[in-house]
Every structure is written in C-alpha cells, then in structure tokens.
C-alpha cells in the first residue's frame, strides 16, 4: 500500500504514496484529528477544500460513543461521518491509559471505566481490531501500552513485552479475518476486505526513551510483519531533542517500503525535524485546537487574532492562502468574532489552519522532489517565529 517514490539527496526525507480503497495519500502528509468522527467545527466538504487527504479518528472514543451498533447500522465510519477519503483509526491504547479511570492491565487486555459515565469495559487486542473492522477504517492500529515519561527501564521492558504480545495477537486476528472473508493467499499482504474496502494494519513501536528497547520493539514487529510502522509514546513530555534522537535512531531500522508514522506529533518544527529523519505521516490536534483558541498559523509564525492590534486590520490572515477564510474575511472581522464568542470564528480559523498545514506538506513534498528539502526547511523556519 506504500510506494517509496524517492529519497531526498541530503537527508532521510522521503517522497511516497499510500494507496487505500478510499483514495491515495501523498507523503509526507498530515492528518487532521477527528477523534469522535468529526474534525471539530468543520464539515467534510470544508476539510476536503483544504486539500486534506486523510483523517484520523479514534476507536476508543467511537467505541464508547456512539458504539459499534450505531456505526454498523450506518454502514461504517465513512458513511456515518460523510467522509469519502481515507481514514486511519487509532486503537485507543493511548486514550485508555490517559483518559479512562481505574485502568487495570492484564495479560489478555485492559480493563477500565469509561471517562464519560464510569461504566466498565474490557479491551483485548482482538476486540479492538474487530471494532476497527466495523468502523471500516483504511488503516487500523494495534492495541498498545503507551508508557508515561519518565519511566524506569525495567518497567518499560515489561510493558514492551506485553505490547509485543498484543501486536502478535492483533496480527493473528487480522489474518484470521482474511480467512473469514475468503481472501486468497495472494491477498494476504493486502489486508482483509470489508464492505468498506481493504483494510491495513500498522504496528506501533514503543520502548519509551530507551534506544535498546526501541530496537527490540522494531525487531519484534518486523518479525511479526505489518503493513506500516508507527512510532508511539513520543511527545509525552520528554525534551524535544530526545524525541528527535529516538526518531533518528529508530526510523532507519524500519523497512524502506513501508509507511513510517509518527503518532501525535505535529508542531511545525517537529514536522520539519521528523520529515528530515524519514517520517511519512503525522497527526496532531495542533492546527484545529489552535484555531479554536484564536491562533492562526502564518508564514511568519502564530498569530493570536484576539490581539488588539488586529481590531482595525482589514487585510486577510494570509494573502497567499486560498482558504475560504482568507478569501472572504479580514483580520478585523475575525478579531470581532472571537471577541464576541461567535462560533464562526472558530470554524474559519480551523479551516485556515488545516489549509496551512496541507499547503506546508505539499511544499515539503515539492522540496524533496527537487532535492532541496534542507534549503526549504532553512528558508521556512528562517521566516517562521516559533
Ligand atoms: Zn487561509
């Protein structure tokens, strides 16, 4: 499902293409986050108008609300949310450990109480995979344990053993599904076919901030065999340089012909540094959450539209930007919307920010294509006030 088109001459940056049943995704790429099946405040048409190619949704949240039956009846997540492009669903491992209450890890799965109403659930690697099959997402993620930062080596080692065991069980369940759907042996590497199309399964490299454990994780996941590989458990409070070091040492151990996904990371600087180290896809709440907080991304840095200096500024956020916000509305009006707590302000800035991110990724791809990624990075970050 992933085709490596070319590598940058001077760095590990890669140009690639993922092919899914719901369309192609040019990499490097950024996925806006639609946790509960909605990119907050935006319609799918608006998301598409921003040149977004792929969305992320979260199995943990969708399992708790609205639940499998509702989505099954609606014909899968694509139909339910009216998004026809590719969707990647996170398994919810991270959410179980960060959001749920009274979370108890057992060998066969994880017991927890819903953060919404306190009711009890038990997730197994198999049950989460089956739920993602109901969702019909194009890319499914295995259940994993995301360890907090900092954690002791022996704890992370024990956790990794469990995560690897869960990854193996997820892959077995995935292969059994192939047999259930009557796929031919030759289709095995292409994933099971649901009513929503082919699905793929990615493994998640854990191992905390320990290089030896990251290597162990990669070796074991490659032996199990996945359609793509994600780096999890990063951007959890560790120093930025340490995260880059982990990415730099881990990515080269992954197969070249598979997608490299860095989970939950997506500031502008992190994107440049990680693309340079060979990452293909990203997801993060940064553009949409900032938009709802009155912060717009521009070529010179972040702009807080509530700031008094925009009260009488009748220029758009970004003259070069093609989004509906920049085409139709001035900073003065957006400033007013935020001052008056009007929902339209949240919508317009969210739209502008995901457009900005999509355009940035497009420019990064163009730069890799022309072997001038470092030059582009230097030029962009030289103007961008972090
Ligand atoms: Zn714009």
Candidates 90, 138, 227, 280; catalytic one: 90
What pLDDT sits at residue 185? Answer: 44
10-residue averages of pLDDT along the chain (386 residues): 97 98 98 98 98 97 97 97 98 85 89 92 96 97 95 97 98 86 53 76 98 98 98 96 98 98 98 98 98 98 98 97 98 98 98 98 98 98 94
In sequence order, the β-bridge partners of residue 55 are: 87
* Active-site residue, 212 included: no
214 CB neighbour count, 10 Å cutoff: 23
Helix H or strand E segment including 295: strand 295-298
Q: Could you tell me the distance, in angstroms and rounded to a whole number, from the CA of residue 324 to the centre of ligand 1?
A: 7
Known active-site residue 90: yes
pLDDT at 96: 86
Could you tell me the distance, in angstroms and rounded to a whole number, from the CA of residue 312 to the centre of ligand 1?
19
Is the Cβ–Cβ distance between 232 and 205 less than 8 Å? yes
pLDDT in the model for residue 186: 44
Q: Which of 144, 270, 283, 318 is catalytic?
A: 283
Please state, in angstroms and rounded to a whole number, the distance separating the CA atoms of residues 285 and 2.
25
Q: pTM of whole model > 0.85?
A: yes
Instruction: Provide the pairing of β-strand 55-58 with 29-32.
Output: unpaired
SS3 helix, strand, coil % of the chain, rounded to 5? Answer: 45, 20, 35
- Residue environment code for 156-178, b if the CB has 16+ CB neighbours within 10 A, otherwise e: bbebbebbbebbbbbbebbbebb
If you measure from the C-alpha of residue 378 to the centroid of ligand 1, how many angstroms do you get, rounded to a whole number? Answer: 23
Q: Separation of 262 CA from ligand 1 center, angstroms?
A: 26
Burial annotation 337-373 (CB, 10 A radius, 16+ → b, else e): bbeeeeeebbbbbbbbbbbbbbbbbeebbebbeeebb
Sequence-ordered list of residues with C-beta below 8 angstroms from that of 329, at least 6 positions apart, any chain: 316, 348
């Amino acid at each position: 499902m992933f085709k490596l088109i070319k590598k940058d001459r001077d760095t590990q940056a890669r140009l690639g293409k993922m092919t899914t049943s719901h369309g192609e995704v040019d990499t490097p790429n950024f996925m806006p986050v639609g946790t509960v099946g909605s990119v907050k405040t935006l319609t799918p048409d608006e998301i598409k108008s921003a040149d977004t190619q792929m969305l992320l949704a979260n199995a943990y949240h969708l399992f708790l609300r609205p639940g499998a039956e509702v989505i099954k009846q609606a014909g899968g997540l694509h139909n339910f949310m009216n998004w026809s492009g590719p969707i990647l669903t996170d398994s919810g491992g991270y959410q179980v450990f960060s959001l749920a209450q009274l979370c108890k890890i057992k060998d066969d799965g994880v017991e927890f109480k819903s953060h919404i109403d306190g009711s009890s659930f038990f997730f197994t690697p198999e049950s989460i995979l089956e739920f993602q099959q109901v969702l019909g997402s194009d890319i499914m993620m295995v259940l994993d344990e995301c360890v907090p930062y900092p954690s002791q080596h022996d704890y992370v080692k024990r956790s990794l053993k469990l995560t690897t065991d869960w990854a193996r069980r997820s892959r077995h369940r995935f292969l059994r599904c192939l047999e259930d759907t009557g796929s031919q042996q030759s289709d095995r590497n292409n994933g099971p076919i649901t009513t929503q199309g082919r699905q793929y399964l990615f493994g998640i490299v854990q191992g905390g901030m320990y290089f030896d454990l990251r290597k162990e994780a990669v070796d074991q996941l490659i032996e199990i065999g996945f359609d793509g590989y994600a780096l999890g458990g990063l951007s959890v409070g560790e120093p930025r340089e340490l995260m880059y070091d982990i990415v730099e040492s881990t990515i080269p151990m992954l197969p070249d012909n598979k997608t490299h996904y860095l989970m939950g990371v997506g500031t502008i600087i992190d994107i440049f540094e990680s693309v340079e180290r060979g990452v293909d896809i990203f997801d993060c709440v940064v553009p949409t959450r900032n938009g709802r907080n009155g912060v717009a991304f521009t070529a010179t840095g972040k702009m807080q539209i509530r700031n008094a200096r925009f009260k009488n500024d009748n220029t758009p956020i970004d003259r070069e930007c093609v989004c509906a916000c920049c085409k139709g509305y001035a900073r003065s009006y957006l400033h007013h919307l935020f001052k008056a707590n009007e929902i339209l302000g949240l919508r317009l800035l969210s739209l502008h920010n995901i457009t900005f991110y999509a355009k940035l990724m497009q420019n990064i791809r163009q730069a890799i294509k022309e072997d001038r990624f470092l030059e582009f990075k230097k030029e962009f970050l030289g103007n961008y006030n972090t």
